[in-house]
Amino acid sequence: MAKDYYQILGVSKGASQDEVKKAFRELAHKHHPDKQGGNVDKFKEINEAYQVLGNPEKRQQYDQFGTTFDQAGGPGGFSGFDGSGFANGFNGFDFNDIGDIFGFGDIFGGGKKRKKVKRGKDIQMEMEISFRESVFGEEKILDLYKPSACSNCGGSGDDPTSKISICVNCNGSGKVRAIQKTFLGSFETVTVCPKCQGEGKKAEKECRECRGSGVTRASKKIKFKIPAGIINGEAIRLSGEGEAGGKGGEPGDLFITFRVKVDRDFRRDGNNILTKAEISFTQAALGDKIEVKTLEGAVMLAIPAGTQSGQIFKLKGRGINDTVHGGGLGDQLVEVIVITPTRISRRQRELLEELGRD
Ligand SMILES: [Zn+2]
Ligand SMILES: [Zn+2]
């Protein structure tokens, strides 16, 4: 069943706009979450009903389409009515209308202490790493000079030797109340005390090192690991390693984007590593064992007789074990290039000519 907004507001379908407004006003007073016996859910419901019935245009549409509300997905799922103007202001509350009066921000904060402190900024940086580091990962220590929590006061902004006293602005409650007069009558709003940020107590003196801000510039050593398998241009986030926030504010994050240097010998293709190896045409014709570079040192590779230039040999398990994108351990693929000699001796020429007569 769709919600019956008339029932919620306790008015008849034929009620005048004035009657709807009056009913809303009474119920809003009664269930206002700041009042004793107030109820947030009930209050939200009343508000939702009033958003529709209090607006003649929306009310008319509700009367017309009301029974199809559930099929349309209920409030918040009004996509079927988009463009009709009906969905406007329907996702919860119309803050512009009455939200401000009730100080929704505070009520629906869920009773959490809402401090007026700012989060520290994120830091973005780039780091150049070798191909090898991108493949195997690597522990790194970064020395970063940045706004940090003041070491003298621990970021509180208070002088550590100062006496702590009850905040006189809010009398220690951390909240301040104000009466607001509106067309619906007077309402009491409760906000976080701006002097103590809701703590209810306050140091008498502020920290001299940071002048009460809780933040000073300092260098910090940050240890982190380059993830094995990271690709050029990808970034990691180090949570909380950005700039310090002021007075109890959360620090920002540090983002490091990796630039992988191009390697002379190794290239990447998915989880495989591509390399090239040069062999002579006699090695190609007769077969041989050659030394091949891998990221973990040289290994021997058997070249069978009759190898063609461009043929690819696989060194199993010598590729990338990508911890970032997965895909399992890759291989190293060695492309063999047969080098044709450009200068040969008289003896070699004779032998080749002999070979050519066959
Ligand atoms: Zn300080
Ligand atoms: Zn206070």
Confidence of residue 259 (pLDDT cuts 50, 70, 90): very high
Asked if residue 342 lies in contact with residue 280, where contact means CB atoms within 8 angstroms, the answer is no
CATH code linked to domain 123-156+211-260: 2.60.260.20
Give DSSP secondary structure letters for 35-90. Answer: STT--HHHHHHHHHHHHHHTSHHHHHHHHHHGGGTTTTTSTT--GGGTTTT-STT-
Averaged pLDDT score across all residues of the chain: 83
pLDDT (tens digit per residue) in 310-352: 999 999 999 999 999 999 999 999 999 999 888 889 998 998 8
- Which residues face 166 on adjacent strands? 201
In this predicted structure, what is the pLDDT of residue 138?
94
Which CATH architecture describes the domain 267-356? Sandwich (2.60)
Domains 123-156+211-260 and 267-356 are alike in CATH topology: yes
Q: How far is the CA of 198 from the centre of ligand 1 (A)?
A: 19
- Select from 35, 81, 24, 59 the least CA-distant residue to 187: 35
Q: How far is the CA of 316 from the centre of ligand 2 (A)?
A: 68
Is 70 exceeded by the pLDDT of residue 113?
no
Burial class (CB in 10 A: 0-12, 13-18, 19+), 157: buried
- Which residue type sits at 150? C
Q: How far is the CA of 246 from the centre of ligand 2 (A)?
A: 17
pLDDT (tens digit per residue) in 211-239: 988 999 999 999 999 999 999 999 999 99
Confidence of residue 120 (pLDDT cuts 50, 70, 90): very high
Q: Give the C-alpha separation, 338 to 286, whole Å.
A: 12
Q: Is 207 annotated as a binding residue?
A: yes
Q: Give the C-alpha separation, 286 to 314, whole Å.
A: 20
pTM (predicted TM-score): 0.58
Is 80 exceeded by the pLDDT of residue 18?
yes
> What average pLDDT does the segment 160-179 reach?
88
Which CATH architecture describes the domain 5-107? Orthogonal Bundle (1.10)
In this predicted structure, what is the pLDDT of residue 352?
86
What is the domain partition of the chain in residue ranges?
5-107, 123-156+211-260, 164-203, 267-356
DSSP state at residue 158: B
Neighbours of ion ligand 2 (CB under 5 A): 167, 169-170, 193, 195-196
In this predicted structure, what is the pLDDT of residue 75?
39
Ligand showing the shortest atom-to-Cα distance for residue 161:
1
- ∠ CA 53-55-59, nearest 5°, is 50
Q: How far is CA 353 from the centre of its chain?
A: 70
Is 50 exceeded by the pLDDT of residue 12?
yes
In this predicted structure, what is the pLDDT of residue 350?
92
